[in-house]
């Protein structure tokens, strides 16, 4: 079990690449298979799998395999932890702006 | 001038290290000099300067030198762009949860 800070490291790192943000954006619309995710992207399927591993390790995405099909879903709790962290810092800075 | 996606890459990368988040947290309470920032941190002054460069390049922090003293401030617009990006994805995922 990762602690809060280590989890934030992984979440912010996961969000620092455009392809991974695009995957999160797509999954925010609903679950998708790995092939669904790869299809509109300009990177190879193995690269998509690697990006998904980073997203899964960060806790932003959960995947589940049924037969030969892996389905991916967003984990909004991880998104919320990152959003809350930023919101707190913005709240502080707003009062001194 | 960086485009929106390139800016988000840098902002999320900047937030992926605990020391840089601690600097942002401190600056969200008000401007501080580099020495003020370094004092409670467990890393060397040159390391703090390097972390500040990453934060400044990302647009999260602005620094201004007067004589030999460099003062750092938070740039809440950059924090807001990252927060807004996450909030949009969360809003999407909430409707399918």
Chain B contact present for A84, CB below 8 A: no
pLDDT confidence of residue A96: 58
Distance CA B76, CA B10 (A): 15
Average pLDDT rounded to a whole number, residues A74-89: 95
The residues near A95 (Cβ < 8 Å, ≥ 6 apart) are none
Give A18 to chain B, closest Cα distance, Å.
7
Chain CA centroid to CA B43, Å: 17
Chain A contact present for B82, CB below 8 A: yes
Is A97's pLDDT higher than 90?
no
Say whether B16 and A18 touch across the interface (CB within 8 A).
Answer: no
pLDDT confidence of residue B91: 84
Mean of the per-residue pLDDT values of chain B: 93
Interface test with A, best of B62, B75, B92 (most A CBs within 10 A): B92
Phi and psi angles of residue B50, each rounded to the nearest 5 degrees, phi first: -65, -45
Is A92's pLDDT higher than 70?
yes
**Interface A-B: count of C-beta contacts within 8 A:** 101
pLDDT confidence of residue A94: 73
Q: How confident is the model at residue A30 (pLDDT cuts 50, 70, 90)?
A: very high
Q: Within chain B, which residues score under 50 in pLDDT?
A: none
**Strands of A61-66's sheet in order across:** A32-33, A69-74, A61-66
Q: What is the ipTM of this complex?
A: 0.92
Residue among B86, B7, B26, B93 at smallest CA distance from A89: B26
pLDDT confidence of residue B1: 59
Chain B contact present for A25, CB below 8 A: yes
Write out chain A residues lying below 8 Å of B97, CB-based: 76
Asked if residue B71 lies in contact with residue A78, where contact means CB atoms within 8 angstroms, the answer is no
Chain B contact present for A78, CB below 8 A: no
């Amino acid at each position: 079990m990762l602690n809060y800070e280590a989890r934030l490291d992984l979440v912010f790192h996961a969000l620092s690449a455009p392809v991974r943000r695009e995957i999160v954006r797509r999954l925010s619309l609903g679950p998708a298979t790995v092939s669904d995710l790869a299809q509109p992207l300009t990177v190879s399927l193995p690269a998509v799998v690697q990006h998904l591993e980073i997203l899964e390790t960060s806790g932003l995405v959960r995947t589940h395999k049924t037969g030969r099909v892996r389905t991916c879903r967003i984990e909004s709790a991880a998104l919320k932890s990152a959003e809350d962290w930023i919101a707190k810092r913005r709240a502080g800075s707003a009062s001194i702006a």
